[in-house]
Homo-oligomer: A and B are copies of this chain.
Amino acid sequence: MRRFIDLADFQREEIEELLSLARRLEQRPEPQALAGKVLGLVFFNPSLRTLASFQSGMARLGGTSFVITPGQGTWQLETRIGAVMNGASAEHVREGIPVLASYCDALGIRCFADGKDLARDLAETQFRSMDELVEKPLVNMESAMNHPCQALADWKTLEDLSVPRRAKFVLSWVNHPRALPLAVPAATVHMAAMRGMEVVVLRPEGFQLPAPIMERARRAAEAAGGSLRETPDREDALSGAQILYAKEWGSTAHYGDVEGDARLRAGLGDWCVGDAWFAQAAADCRLMHCLPVRRNVAVADEVLDGPRSVVQREAWNRLTVQMAVLHRMLAPRHAH
């Protein structure tokens, strides 16, 4: 495997093999599998789980890693092609990224959406400007519209919990002080669709997911024998739900318009998941969230501290699936 950029690039069988490898490494560690290998990690944006799990995962496989954080310890990096660089950025990704790739055996890049121009972000303009410069194996540690490591970790979590393939999976918008990127909702809806689930996106008006994301996920759902729909009706969505996946994101109707987005979310304070949300759900309905989560804004303490929450298992699975991805990318053949 040379690229881990988007779950949609893989066949279902390939994903199942990755999950199987993740389980194998969970049970039978291979502390020398990546001896001598170096992973480079470039963070254009903050991280807690991603940073710690990639560094720990690489170490648990016998390899090492280094971290570069543009704008902090390193200068800002320019991504615009043809830029006259007389501003804040001291180096262009066209120099910086191939240099960093040359120092390591695989590279991970995190680069969130600009959040100003939806078409530009949907086209993954920034991530692609770097992707094309890297010949080494490359991992997407969250781009404008994707977060395949989170999606794969969540898929493994659903398997770990024996959630039936056809179960009802509700991705619900939840409240947040400001607009967040669409990467996790986009990756989540695609993952659940690819798994063949009954996927429902629950969100207030103005927060529908972009059409290209929904269309792509709908095709994946159809291919897997599942379904996908969107609704603003909480009761309709949650009735019989096996999974409530809570996530914050910005208004697509006011993309890049901070004030318009703020006006829209001002009246949405009740989109904070409490115990009452589960009234019509399946008895063992679980609460999923990729973290970080703002307590008592997005999800109430009573849910996060209660038995429905599986957020710790999701975070744990970031480590397990990323170790599988790194192993597949970097382990010598005979080690497979």
Residues of A within 8 A of B (CB): 29, 31, 35-36, 38, 40, 43, 46-49, 51-53, 55-56, 59-60, 62, 64, 66-69, 72-75, 78, 82-87, 90-92, 94-96, 98-100, 102-104, 177, 291-297, 301, 304-305, 311-312, 315-316, 319
Determine which of B35, B64, B319 lies in contact with A102 in the assembled complex, contact meaning CB atoms within 8 Å: B319
Docked complex Cα distance between A163 and B311 (Å): 52
User: Does A297 lie within 8 Å of B36, measured CB to CB?
Assistant: no
List the B residue with the shortest CB-CB distance to A177.
B86
User: Does A90 lie within 8 Å of B36, measured CB to CB?
Assistant: no
Jot down 20 A-B pairs with beta carbons below 8 A, ordered by A.
Answer: A38-B56, A46-B74, A46-B75, A47-B73, A48-B100, A49-B99, A51-B73, A52-B99, A52-B104, A53-B103, A56-B103, A64-B64, A69-B73, A72-B72, A85-B295, A91-B293, A92-B295, A95-B304, A98-B312, A99-B316
List the B residue with the shortest CB-CB distance to A301.
B82
User: Does B38 lie within 8 Å of A99, measured CB to CB?
Assistant: no
Residue among A59, A67, A96, A99 with most chain B CB within 10 A? A99
Residues of chain B within 8 A (CB-CB) of A52 are 40, 66, 68, 99-100, 103-104
User: Does B292 lie within 8 Å of A48, measured CB to CB?
Assistant: no
Residues of chain B within 8 A (CB-CB) of A59 are 38, 64, 66
User: Does B319 lie within 8 Å of A94, measured CB to CB?
Assistant: no
Residue among A47, A48, A49, A312 with most chain B CB within 10 A? A48
A90 CB to closest chain B CB, in angstroms?
Answer: 5
User: Does A294 lie within 8 Å of B85, measured CB to CB?
Assistant: yes
User: Does A305 lie within 8 Å of B177, measured CB to CB?
Assistant: no
- A-B complex: 6 closest residue pairs judged by Cβ atoms: A91-B292, A85-B294, A55-B66, A59-B64, A99-B315, A56-B103
Residues of chain B within 8 A (CB-CB) of A73 are 43, 46-47, 51, 67, 69, 72
Determine which of B36, B60, B82, B87 lies in contact with A60 in the assembled complex, contact meaning CB atoms within 8 Å: B36
Docked complex Cα distance between A53 and B74 (Å): 13
A42 CB to closest chain B CB, in angstroms?
Answer: 9
A106 CB to closest chain B CB, in angstroms?
Answer: 12
Given known A-B contacts A73-B72, A312-B102, A91 and B291 have beta carbons under 8 A apart: yes
List the B residue with the shortest CB-CB distance to A90.
B292
Residues of chain B within 8 A (CB-CB) of A51 are 66, 68, 73-74
Residue among A43, A46, A72 with most chain B CB within 10 A? A46
A26 CB to closest chain B CB, in angstroms?
Answer: 12
List the B residue with the shortest CB-CB distance to A88.
B177
Docked complex Cα distance between A17 and B315 (Å): 37
A49 CB to closest chain B CB, in angstroms?
Answer: 6
Residues of chain B within 8 A (CB-CB) of A72 are 72-73
Residues of chain B within 8 A (CB-CB) of A316 are 99, 102
Residue among A52, A66, A315 with most chain B CB within 10 A? A52
List the B residue with the shortest CB-CB distance to A67.
B73
Docked complex Cα distance between A104 and B319 (Å): 10
